[in-house]
Structure 1
Amino acid sequence: MNKVWHKGLPFSPEVAPYLRHMALVDEHREALLRLQGVWDSLALLGQMSGTATDIAQTRTAFQNLTTTLLDSLARRLRSHALERMAGKARVAIDILVRNLFERTADVGFLAVDGPLCTHAALDPADAGHAASRAALQARFAAYTAKYSVYDDVIVLSPRGEVLARRDDRHAITHCDEPWIAEALASDAPYFERHGATALLGGRQALIYARALRDAQGVIGLLCLSFRLDDEMAAVFRQLLAGANERAVICLLDERRNVLQSSDAWQVPPGARLPLNGERITFAGRDYLCATASASGYEGYMGPPGWQACVLTPLEWAFDVDENGAGDELHRLGASLDTRQLFDVELQGIPLEARRIQRNLSRTLWNGKLRSHGNAGQGGAGFATTLLNEVQRTGGQLRQVFEQAIAQLQSSALAAVFDGALFQARLAIDIMDRNLYERANDCRWWALDVRLQRALAAQGGPRAQASAAEAQQVLQHINGLYTVYSLLLVFDTQGRVVAVSDPAQARHVGRVLTAAWVGAALGLRDPERHVVSRHEASPLYETPGAVQGETHRPTYVYATSLQHEGQVVGGIALVFDGAPQFSAMLRDALPDETGAAAALFVARDGRLVASSDARWPAGTPAPLPATLLSGLAAGGTLRTELEIGGMVYAAGVAMSQGYREYRAGQAESAEDVAAVLLMPLGPRLSGGSGQADAGFVPPPAQATAESLDIAAFSVGGAWLGLPAGQLVEAVEQPRLTALPNAPRALVGMLQHEGRMLPVLDLGQALYGRTTATPDAPVIICHHSQGQGLAVRVDELGPVFSIPTAQALPSPGGRARLVRGADTASHRMLTLLHADDLWAHIGLGHDLQRTATVALPAP
């Protein structure tokens, strides 16, 4: 791939336009280039002095890794920003479309309302027209009291005359705009129109209309005016709730004109956006841009061409939330196997950094061995000083890499946790909005005079005919509102009078005994309703099951039916919970992973719904019992949960209702929370087998008799050998296996023309094999000149101490050396190369001595 150069480094073309806005990339770039400048000076000094010539290769490796790291960081910043914005855009348009789907059904229901149609058919010259108009306005007020999503309900004559309306502040009496004739002529279930209209004072409005008909034909037009401004303001508030949120969300029509904007000062309604990719310029300002079209709901896609657009000013688009990438996330990342979470390149960066550092450690270790071997030569002191400075600079480079990698990983983890919480909020918002409609539907349909008369007629001569009429009404309603598996009406004894589904006519005549039945019949206020617990219901059976065999859990919404001031029965709505909750959770799941799980959980721990077949509805949720107990309405939390050996990022959001729905209700065991689980990975088992901290040699002292020691770690302990017994550390040697060899003898390697046995010192001393594939191998020699290769975990310092400071160890030749960190009593065990031969089958007496002399850490 062709690269684009920026400030001396190559980057992928897709991130090049954004680099000057990526402060995090510049911060790490400057630190790395500054240290590499120091490295260049050290390499030059090494070449001039004839020492440390190998560090040039390490410098090249670090430079290549710098390029990979910074490019990966830039691409991840870009992708995270776009993913976050695209998620907001998708949520904005999908929430709106779900809402508007209900409006397409409302206009179909209300268009067959008896009093409304009667008034539309009445001659305006009729003496009772004024009284009928006043009664209809009161009826509209009753409807909109339950559905506050409408700001007006209007009835027009076929000639465009205003026959009645909810909001009579508008003086207009007639409207002949072309869309009215088009709506009157339409046979579609609804007519949808957005634009300015004189009916509403010339303002922009989203109207759902349907022709009113009787036996003679079209008698009028019903228009429902949706509160689009109010609805989008609520959506924008929810999606831009973060304290540092700088994005602007817009609703666009098919011509990319802005219909609604979260910030009219930046992007005003009426403007046309030049959408031509992920980066646009508008009003002299550069933005990162993401758009989304509707996913659709129940086959409805919303007004044609509408989409949501999220714009973030480029100067803010790539800011990193420092609060989300702290020590806690760093510790979590270090404790998990995150291979499923991070891409191959990101996984490879720390491995490559570790490989480079191992090679550097080997180079420096060998250099210090040589310098200690030439202690009598004048340049040894300079060489040691130079090597120490190289080691210090290499350590600083490694630290910058580790910080950058840790920040990358922590930021990625933070994005997962933020995403889980965002999607949980989305899920519970979808649920609240959906159940708001259910609570309103039962109260709205209870106003239908045909159902009221049918229940009032029970026990009289027209009981059977009235029940048949009620069935037709329910069947018509259920055809419009497909989210219910069954609608039914029942009399004051709880006996089912009519149902919406002829295939479930077996319920007719059944006396309902559930607690919600009596509660509904006891209601006198038409603004109130009742809802069942989420539990298995005989009214909601598994399709295809033997009758009564499988009752599924769901909600039943109900209220009383009143006629002439008296309760004559009730209406109940059986929510089709299984597919509807499944659709809600599916909409809340992120697109990029199929492993995430979404749950609706009651406060008492019962599962209302689950996207994961492992946890079916009605069973206990796989969550701690106390997780939801203290969460207030609208409260959220993010946490980590371990389920079945997998650690998940969990976002939890408790229901807070929507508009009037559940407003001010007391805390209950029936409260529902959404839980979004995103897998992070399994826990890493045990420790790494590396020393818990570096061994710090004691301060150098001038003495006549000194001992040079080369240190290394094995199994978490610090060990060493006299430098004079060591030849060098070698780079990832190829081993030849030996059949039937002791476990500690892992093979043979070729070194300077000889085949040497390779001893895994961790296995030999502590029974723990060194698992790192690129673990260092050091070459030492027996007192008789025989060579031996020893595999260790890490290389340590090469240093000198007075011989007297090497304390004898009981039972053998091993000695103990106290480090400079006396507060922690860190010790190094000084071995002898001859003792190592005991572990490959030579000298059983030496083997026993060595085993006693080398204590486990």
Structure 2
Amino acid sequence: MTKVYRKGLPFSAEVAPLIGAMPLLDEYREPLMRLQGAWDSLALLGQMSGAATDMADTRSAFEALTGRLLDSLARRQLRNAVQQLQGRSQVAIDILIRNLFERTADVGFLASDGPLRAALQGDEDPQALRQRFAAYVAKYSVYDQVVLLAADGRRIAALDESRCAPRVDEPALRAAFEPGRAFVEAHGPTALLGGQPGLVYAAAVNAGSGEASGPRGLLCLSFKLEDEMLGLFRALCAGVKRSVLVLKDGEGRVLLTSDPWQIPLGAPLADAGQAQGWRLDFAGRDYLSCSSAASGYEGYFGPGWTAQMLQPLQHAFSDAPPERQEERARQVDTRELFDEELRSIPIEARRIQRELSRSLWNGKLRSRAQTPAVASAGATGGVQNGSAFAVTLLNEVERTGDQLRQVFERAIAQLEDGALGAVFDAAGFQAELAISIVNRNLYERANDCRWWALDARLQRALATGDAASASAVLASIHALYTVYSLLLVFDTAGRVVAVSDPAQAHHVGRSLQGEWVAGALGLRDASRHVVSAHEPCGLYGEDGHAPCLVYAAGVPHPEGGGQVGGIAIVFDGAPQFRAMLRAALPAQPGAAALLVTRAGEVVASSDERWQPGDRAPVSLAVLQGLAADRQVTGELDHQGRVQAFGLAMSGGYREYRRLTPPDATDLAALVLLPLGERLEDGAGAASQAAFEPQAPVGTQRVDIASFLVDHQWLGLPALQVLAALERQRITAWPQAPAAVRGMLGFEGRMLPVLDLGQLLFNRPCGDEAALMVCQTAAGQRLVLAVQQLGQVFVAGAEQLQPSPTRPGWAAQAQVRLLKGQGPSMLTLLDGDDLWRLVSGVAEAAASAAPTGATTSSLAATQVLTLG
């Protein structure tokens, strides 16, 4: 990967131009540079005094890791910002395309309306036609103009005649007369709206029953594009500081903008790609920018527009990832959220820290060895003073290294918080997106049944009992609206008169059951509709017993004075809801989305793990307590993995289910994003020792080398410890007891390696164990594998206390407890006692050793046995 140097550090080419806008980098770069400066000073002191260990390799390793860390932090910030902008721009264009797809069906349906055809023949009063337009628009508030034009462009009737010219002759609209054109969509200034720009859908209207019979006309519907998009823009820009969302035409000019003061209408706006770090310069201001083209819906891609979201660069990274308020996801294995390089940083930091600890350990051991193990705290002398300086210097090196480690850990923790925060934010956002798509879709369903109830052909067919005509009309409507499983009309007794699908003609004559049937027949207001519960009704699925939603409205008598029956539309929920939920999911393996009721029942799922009728994997308390139009995020466990969830409760859309009281049938979208497996308590890295007792003046003292085994602090007198070893290959010893890892060489001798975790607690220290060589008073040597090295420190002899009996091994070894600062306690072992404790293990290992063992191995075993 190409690196570009900025502020003395290497950065990836995509983020290098942006780091000046990332204050979080300076928050970590400055202390890291400061600490590395202090490190250089300490290294110089160590070289001058000859007391310090060589720190050059450690310094280089920390410097390299600093560059990797800051580059990863920059790339993570850029990734989170880009995902946020890209996701919202994609949502903006895709929701628009879904909306416009419904408009293409509406114009086709209304163009076949009987009164419109009659008006073209002069048989319909224009005023009555205007009232009919008003009745349609009252149910579909997304239109602000409906116009019927004659073939020569004359205005026959208009919803708002004050805005429509008497004659409209525009080539873009007349293209609807072309053979095979189901509709046209045109955007721009139009005489239909008094010269104002608008998005118009037009379809040809035939005057008679044949395609070529009589004069033709043109039906035009004007969609409230600005009204729809500005509301969507406000919702999508919320929470993204100073952001702007725009809609662009095929030539890249701004059609609509959420903030005309930043990005004005008509402005040519280029796209920003990854090659420029998603950076865009517009009118002298730098933006982070992402564009999205339509994904398409049911094969429809709209007018070729794109959505673009921009955020001023000075605000794109101004806020650090907020710290989580809850303790959620604290005990979760989150490695899957990071790329390989990012995952390697904490591993590398721990490796460097282990090497530093080993180097400091050895330096302190050498320094302690220059003075007697037990001496008067008030003793003086050049040797002791030199040793004290060396220990002080090494302590300062250790403190500086620990500060470096803490900065790395804090940065990595913030990276983790940022990654987790992005997942939880995404879950909440995607849940809101999912329920928004569902709301808009069901709004169309509620309107469709009421629109079609106004169809004069259906009204006459029901009034006269003409089932064939009703079936033909339903089939023509169903061909335009592909989201339904079945359309049907029923009489005032609830018996099915006609259906849209000949393959389901067996429903004709059937008496419908359910509250929704009586509800539809009881309606006295043409603006009302009813919807069934999500349950089987005999009209959906292969056996008719699959749960579904049925929308129904009463069909008024063509002459007035009551109803002649009702119309029911069976929503094809299984594939349609699944498609909606999948459209709302991010491209993340294992992500799932569910549509659930407030009562906790699964209505639909993007994932086969949940089927309609199952119980939702979120608590009823959360579902029942969530207010309309609100969302909540959290975590839950499912099949051994922790999932971040976002739950968004429906609040309706426009006139559909707005401000309705909470009900068990209310729908909510639940989005689940996998985080990882739940970690056991205490599974994180062990902390450093929380104690370092000091020997009071005038008292006896003892130097202690501390280490961690099975998360318990142990120690040995420092004179009994020779060195901490670099990680090296251990020669296997077949048939050796579990506590004997094998053999390794040290100063020309092969020494047995004993795992103290296995020996003392029956829990091995693991592959990352630290290795230390210890020696008894008689000169026997062995290597101990421990969990982690601690500190080498001085304690007063009076701080040692006899140990109570500890089952299994304390009775054989003289252990003493050392009081520490706070709650920490260290158990002090003795090398000779430890040797006696393990002698039996060594003897068993020696008897199990292969006859071909080397002389050095046998000699070491004999020495160990003789001890």
Establish whether TM, by shorter chain, passes 0.5: yes
The 3-state SS of whatever aligns with 1:750 is strand
1:432-443 equivalent positions in 2, closer than 5 A: 432-443=439-450
The number of equivalent residue pairs is 818
1:78-117 equivalent positions in 2, closer than 5 A: 78-117=78-117
The 3-state SS of whatever aligns with 1:629 is helix
The letter of the residue matching 1:635 is R
1:727–1:492: structure 2 CA closer, same or farther, 3 Å change rule?
A: same
Structure 1 residue 81, shift from structure 2 partner: 1.1
Structure 1 residue 560, shift from structure 2 partner: 0.7
Quick one: which of 267, 271, 274 aligns to 1:275?
271
Structure 1 residue 813, shift from structure 2 partner: 5.6
Quick one: which of 387, 399, 402 aligns to 1:392?
399
Quick one: which of 594, 602, 609 aligns to 2:604?
609
Quick one: which of 759, 769, 772 aligns to 1:775?
769
The TM-score, its normalising length taken from structure 1, stands at 0.93
1:528–1:349: structure 2 CA closer, same or farther, 3 Å change rule?
A: same
Measured in 2, the distance between the counterparts of 1:705 and 1:226 equals 91
After superposition, the C-alpha distances for 1:773-818 in whole angstroms (9 at most, x for unaligned) are: 2321110012221111011112122122333433333556634343
After superposition, the C-alpha distances for 1:701-745 in whole angstroms (9 at most, x for unaligned) are: 334743221111211221111111110111112111212222111
Measured in 1, the distance between the counterparts of 2:27 and 2:533 equals 56
The letter of the residue matching 2:77 is L
Name the structure 2 match of 1:20. Answer: 20
Measured in 1, the distance between the counterparts of 2:185 and 2:656 equals 26
Measured in 2, the distance between the counterparts of 1:534 and 1:405 equals 47
Name the structure 2 match of 1:222. Answer: 219
Instruction: Say whether 1:361 aligns with 2:357.
Output: yes
Measured in 1, the distance between the counterparts of 2:650 and 2:684 equals 47
Quick one: which of 828, 831, 835 aligns to 1:830?
828
After superposition, the C-alpha distances for 1:636-679 in whole angstroms (9 at most, x for unaligned) are: 10001111111011001000100000012111100010000000
Structure 1 residue 237, shift from structure 2 partner: 1.5
Structure 1 residue 747, shift from structure 2 partner: 1.2
Percent identity between matched residues is: 56
1:529–1:689: structure 2 CA closer, same or farther, 3 Å change rule?
A: closer
The 3-state SS of whatever aligns with 2:461 is helix
1:16–1:486: structure 2 CA closer, same or farther, 3 Å change rule?
A: same
Structure 1 residue 820, shift from structure 2 partner: 4.1
Measured in 2, the distance between the counterparts of 1:173 and 1:73 equals 63
Contact 2:635–2:645 under 8 Å retained in 1: yes
Measured in 2, the distance between the counterparts of 1:805 and 1:513 equals 86
Name the structure 2 match of 1:849. Answer: none
Name the structure 2 match of 1:854. Answer: none
Contact 2:24–2:320 under 8 Å retained in 1: no
Instruction: Say whether 1:414 aligns with 2:421.
Output: yes
Measured in 2, the distance between the counterparts of 1:414 and 1:218 equals 63
Contact 2:243–2:309 under 8 Å retained in 1: yes
After superposition, the C-alpha distances for 1:405-462 in whole angstroms (9 at most, x for unaligned) are: 000010000000000111100000000000000000001100011111111113xxxx
Quick one: which of 142, 145, 164 aligns to 2:138?
145
Which deviates further from its counterpart, 177-186 or 338-347?
A: 177-186
Measured in 1, the distance between the counterparts of 2:686 and 2:813 equals 23
1:164–1:48: structure 2 CA closer, same or farther, 3 Å change rule?
A: same
Contact 2:540–2:548 under 8 Å retained in 1: yes
Which deviates further from its counterpart, 220-229 or 369-378?
A: 369-378
Structure 1 residue 497, shift from structure 2 partner: 0.4
Contact 1:52–1:363 under 8 Å retained in 2: no
The 3-state SS of whatever aligns with 1:454 is helix
The letter of the residue matching 2:633 is R
1:705–1:685: structure 2 CA closer, same or farther, 3 Å change rule?
A: closer
Measured in 1, the distance between the counterparts of 2:636 and 2:268 equals 46
1:427-826 equivalent positions in 2, closer than 5 A: 427-458=434-465, 466-542=466-542, 548=543, 551-563=545-557, 564-591=560-587, 593-688=588-683, 694-703=689-698, 705-771=700-766, 773-809=767-803, 814-821=814-821, 823-824=822-823, 826=824
Measured in 1, the distance between the counterparts of 2:461 and 2:841 equals 105
Structure 1 residue 635, shift from structure 2 partner: 1.3
The letter of the residue matching 2:29 is R
Which deviates further from its counterpart, 58-67 or 341-350?
A: 341-350
Instruction: Say whether 1:239 aligns with 2:233.
Output: no
1:48-63 equivalent positions in 2, closer than 5 A: 48-63=48-63
The letter of the residue matching 2:308 is C
Measured in 2, the distance between the counterparts of 1:698 and 1:79 equals 47
Name the structure 2 match of 1:403. Answer: 410
Name the structure 2 match of 1:119. Answer: 119
Name the structure 1 match of 2:306. Answer: 307
Measured in 2, the distance between the counterparts of 1:679 and 1:585 equals 16
The letter of the residue matching 2:795 is I
Measured in 2, the distance between the counterparts of 1:351 and 1:690 equals 11
Name the structure 1 match of 2:863. Answer: none
The 3-state SS of whatever aligns with 1:254 is coil
Which deviates further from its counterpart, 730-739 or 288-297?
A: 730-739
Contact 2:164–2:191 under 8 Å retained in 1: no
1:133–1:422: structure 2 CA closer, same or farther, 3 Å change rule?
A: same
Quick one: which of 369, 388, 405 aligns to 1:373?
369
Which deviates further from its counterpart, 618-627 or 744-753?
A: 618-627
Structure 1 residue 686, shift from structure 2 partner: 4.1
Contact 1:154–1:166 under 8 Å retained in 2: yes
After superposition, the C-alpha distances for 1:296-326 in whole angstroms (9 at most, x for unaligned) are: 11111111x2111111111111233543x33
Contact 1:615–1:622 under 8 Å retained in 2: no
The 3-state SS of whatever aligns with 2:595 is strand
Measured in 2, the distance between the counterparts of 1:326 and 1:627 equals 20
Measured in 2, the distance between the counterparts of 1:451 and 1:171 equals 31
Name the structure 2 match of 1:352. Answer: 348
Measured in 2, the distance between the counterparts of 1:752 and 1:421 equals 61
1:662–1:689: structure 2 CA closer, same or farther, 3 Å change rule?
A: closer
Structure 1 residue 610, shift from structure 2 partner: 0.5
1:60-79 equivalent positions in 2, closer than 5 A: 60-79=60-79
1:688–1:223: structure 2 CA closer, same or farther, 3 Å change rule?
A: closer
Contact 2:813–2:837 under 8 Å retained in 1: no
Contact 2:424–2:633 under 8 Å retained in 1: yes
Contact 1:585–1:610 under 8 Å retained in 2: yes
Contact 2:207–2:217 under 8 Å retained in 1: no
Structure 1 residue 292, shift from structure 2 partner: 0.7
Contact 2:173–2:184 under 8 Å retained in 1: no
Quick one: which of 189, 202, 205 aligns to 1:209?
202
1:281–1:705: structure 2 CA closer, same or farther, 3 Å change rule?
A: closer
The letter of the residue matching 2:520 is A
1:171–1:527: structure 2 CA closer, same or farther, 3 Å change rule?
A: closer
Name the structure 2 match of 1:462. Answer: none
Structure 1 residue 396, shift from structure 2 partner: 0.7
Contact 2:803–2:817 under 8 Å retained in 1: no
Measured in 2, the distance between the counterparts of 1:832 and 1:817 equals 12
Structure 1 residue 283, shift from structure 2 partner: 1.1
Contact 1:692–1:716 under 8 Å retained in 2: no
1:362–1:447: structure 2 CA closer, same or farther, 3 Å change rule?
A: same
Which deviates further from its counterpart, 729-738 or 618-627?
A: 618-627
Name the structure 1 match of 2:252. Answer: 256
Structure 1 residue 335, shift from structure 2 partner: 1.1
Contact 1:133–1:163 under 8 Å retained in 2: yes
The letter of the residue matching 1:725 is Q
Contact 2:724–2:771 under 8 Å retained in 1: yes
